[in-house]
Structure formats: C-alpha cells, structure tokens
Amino acid sequence: MDQVRIGMIGVSGRGRNLASHWHRPGGKSIVAAGADVYLKKLEDFKDRVNKDAFLTTDYKELLERKDIDAVAVASPDQFHEEQAIAALEAGKHVFCEKPLAITVEGCDRILKAWKQSGKKLMIGFNMPYTRMFRTVKGIVDSGVIGQIKAVWVRHFVGKGSLYYYHDWHAVARNTTSLLLQKGSHDIDLIHWITGSYSKKVTAFGSLDFFGGDKPDDLTCPKCPEKETCTEAVLDDHNGRYMCAFRKEVDVEDNNVMIMELDNKIKATYTECHFTPDYHRNFVFIGTEGSVENSQPDNKIWVKTRKSNTWCELSDRTYDIKESEGGHWGADPDLCKDFIDMILYNKKPPTNPLAARMSVAAGCAAAESMRAGGKVLEIPPLTLI
C-alpha cells in the first residue's frame, strides 16, 4: 500500500480539521469518504475537503466500501464505542478521537475488537505532540529532577461555555463528565510523562456557574436576554448554540481530582470552566527538582535542589519555539503518525491501553465526586 484511503465518521468540527491534514491526493493519504447525519455538514465537507468524496448519512454504508482502508471516528463521544468496534470488525484501521469511550466497559469492548481484528488503532491524543509537552517529557526522562513523587495540574478552561456548555458536552449521558471528556487529555499526559497509571482516585465537583432553569430548547438567537447574558453567542445566526443555563445541563463545571499512581506518586488535577483565562499548567516535582510549564508564556522552568551532582548548580528556563498547525502545532504530526503507523508500523507516543486507563481514571473520578468523594480503585487492565 502506497496511499491510505480514509473515511471520516463525523465531518464537521474536529473531523473537518483532521481531514484537512489527511487529504493529500498526491501524497500518502486521501480522504475518500465522509459520513454524517447532517446533510448540510456533508455538503460543506465536500466543498472544503474533497468534491469527489463518497458521502452518506449512514456510517455503515461507508464501512461496506472496499476502497476505504482506514476510518476516523470523529463523532460525539457517546458514539465512539459503537462506531470504532464496527469499523474494526469491518477490517478497517481506526483513528478514534479521544476519549476512547465514555465508560471503562466500552473501552474494553473496543480493545477486544482491536485485538481480534489485527488492524491498527490510534487515539486522538494530541498533547504529546506539542513542543511544550514533548520538552517536558524529555526533561523528566533526562533525570534532571530525579524520581517524580508529586504532580500538580491546573486546567483553566477560559472558554468553557463556548466549548462545552452550549452543546451536547454539557449533558452527562453524552460525556459521563468533563473530568473524562476534557480531563482525559491531562490524565493521559500525567500517565505518559510519569510512566505510571492511576491506581485510585477521589474527587469533588459541582455545577457552580452553568446550568439553571432555562428551557432546554432555548438558543442564543431566541433568548430575550442575549444582549445582557455574559455567555451569549451573538453571531449565532443558525441557532446552533443552546443556552448554557438550560435545565438539562448536569455536568460539573468546577472539579478537583486526587490520584495515587503507581510507585506511590501523588497527583492533583483541577479543572474550572468559568475562568477568565485559558491555561494548562503542569508541575512535576521530583527528588532532585521540579519542572513547570506556562502555555501563555511558552516557557518551561526547571528548578533543582541539592543532589550532589552538576544538576544542582543551575536552574533552567526553556523558551518553546512557535509552531504552526492546530492544537499548538500538534495536529499535523498527529495525523502523520496515523498514516505512518499504517504504512510503516510506526508507534505513536501513546497507545490504546493508555487511552483506556485515562478513561478509567476519569470515570472513577466522576463516580467519586457524585458519591461525596469516595475513594475508588481503578479497574485494572485485563487485555494485554
């Protein structure tokens, strides 16, 4: 095989972004088909990506095509399990957007189908491809901060309403929790950088800002308070944005999660969706120093303590170079790795088993906070 022919399940939003990197008719991949339940989105996909693409409102028709080698599942989270399993059983390589599924059991069913299929499976975790976190990983692996003992993570989601509370993300039956949906990125980074999985968690969270008593069918254009509401999307001419204060909203917007990882590493993760700024801040503390990042400043700081080695002689500041492409330059490399995995058997930074463990930690955290902070064990991996 010299060129991978890809079919997209979910062609707008994330799906459209991914397709823009994969559609290279003269290169190693081509986006040859798209499936979506919305005709308008399919037409837009055809105009923006490939005017000759096969289009369907039934993803199963896409899976039946012999000219499709790989499938990208970029639909809402609650459909990942069904569609990823169907694609693997149809003999397709699969790229599945994160999270892998919204339950641990769903992840395990996907992993079973993957093992039985003999095909490639990659999860859309893009943070390990960013220059910021590749550098943090390199620093930790160099040993300059010693053996990691503690991790602190703050995720300030400055556009929480725009990204999550105006649409399907704000309802638990679709996502389980934003500790899973949004937090899976960060939990995966904690696991990847430390080389350890979560063993037990406890969490606390609540709906402190969003949600309320507005009608579930209320959209920003129809709202009588749109000129004064702090969360109104004033350019929503198509009525896509549902009210962030509607009754059905039941996903916590203010969360604190505490984890114990392998090797007794202690980690904390906080996630707030109504902060004025956007910031993903990690601190890794080791026996010989610490490393901390700042996304807004594009910097990483390493501080060292007494170690009786040359490392104690200086602290260091890393200036992260600017990059092009979505998600801080990660998306082009993420998409390239999926193709290279199929063509050349290249292994990406993270793997499906790690994706399952991030979901397991997020699900346990959601269960814990809804049970008053009960400590829960993470279900172990049984499929190796």
**For 202-254, how does the pLDDT look when each residue is reduced to its tens digit (9 = 90+)?**
999 999 999 999 999 999 999 999 999 999 998 988 888 999 999 999 999 99
Burial level of 269, CB count in 10 A (0-12/13-18/19+)? buried
Same domain, 170 and 65: no
Same domain, 42 and 59: yes
The per-residue pLDDT for 209 is 97
Same domain, 90 and 140: no
The per-residue pLDDT for 329 is 83
The per-residue pLDDT for 238 is 80
Confidence of residue 348 (pLDDT cuts 50, 70, 90): very high
382 domain residue, yes or no: no
Cβ atoms of 123 and 261 within 8 Å: the answer is: no
108 domain residue, yes or no: yes
Same domain, 191 and 248: yes
Per residue in 270-296, pLDDT (tens digit) is 999 999 999 999 999 999 999 999 999
The amino acid at residue 234 is: L
Confidence of residue 325 (pLDDT cuts 50, 70, 90): confident
HSE (side-chain half, CA atoms, 13 Å) at 361: 31
Q: How many domains does the chain have?
A: 2
HSE (side-chain half, CA atoms, 13 Å) at 313: 3
Cβ neighbors of 224 (< 8 A, separation 6 or more) are none
Per residue in 127-144, pLDDT (tens digit) is 999 999 999 999 999 999
pLDDT at 326 over 80: no
297 domain residue, yes or no: yes
The per-residue pLDDT for 236 is 86
Q: Domain of 284: which CATH number? A: 3.30.360.10
Mean local confidence (pLDDT), 323-348? 92
Cβ atoms of 122 and 370 within 8 Å: the answer is: no
384 domain residue, yes or no: no
Same domain, 164 and 192: yes
Least confident of 59-73, 148-162, 227-241, 306-320: 227-241
Same domain, 326 and 338: no
216 domain residue, yes or no: yes
In DSSP notation, 91-149 reads T-EEEEPSSS-SSHHHHHHHHHHHHHHT--EEE---GGGSHHHHHHHHHHHHTTT-SEE
For 235, phi then psi, to 5°, come to: -95, 20
pLDDT at 315 over 70: yes
53 domain residue, yes or no: yes
Same domain, 337 and 239: no
153 domain residue, yes or no: yes
Per residue in 7-34, pLDDT (tens digit) is 999 999 999 999 999 999 999 999 999 9
The per-residue pLDDT for 384 is 54
Nearest-angstrom CA–CA distance, 378 and 260: 10
Nearest-angstrom CA–CA distance, 208 and 229: 17
Q: Which domain holds residue 67?
A: 4-126+332-349
The amino acid at residue 303 is: K
Least confident of 83-92, 167-176, 185-194, 234-243: 234-243
User: Is 179 in a helix, a strand, or coil?
Assistant: helix
What letter would DSSP give residue 58?
-
- For the chain, percent of residues with pLDDT exceeding 90: 93
Cβ neighbors of 134 (< 8 A, separation 6 or more) are 128
In DSSP notation, 279-336 reads EEEEEEEETTEEEEEETTTTEEEEEE---SSGGGG--EEEEPPP--SHHHHHHHHHHH
Same domain, 157 and 174: yes
pLDDT at 201 over 60: yes
pTM, two decimal places: 0.95
Same domain, 185 and 95: no
Same domain, 167 and 52: no
Mean pLDDT of the chain: 95
Which structure tokens are listed for 272? Answer: 């707030």
84 domain residue, yes or no: yes
pLDDT at 383 over 80: no
Mean local confidence (pLDDT), 142-167? 95
- For the chain, percent of residues with pLDDT exceeding 70: 99
The per-residue pLDDT for 113 is 97
CA nearest to 182, candidates 378, 371, 374, 359: 359
Same domain, 150 and 162: yes
Q: Domain of 14: which CATH number? A: 3.40.50.720
Cβ atoms of 197 and 262 within 8 Å: the answer is: yes
Same domain, 339 and 245: no
224 Cα distance to chain centroid: 35
HSE (side-chain half, CA atoms, 13 Å) at 180: 33
How many C-beta atoms surround the C-beta of residue 147 within 10 A? 12
Mean local confidence (pLDDT), 327-349? 94
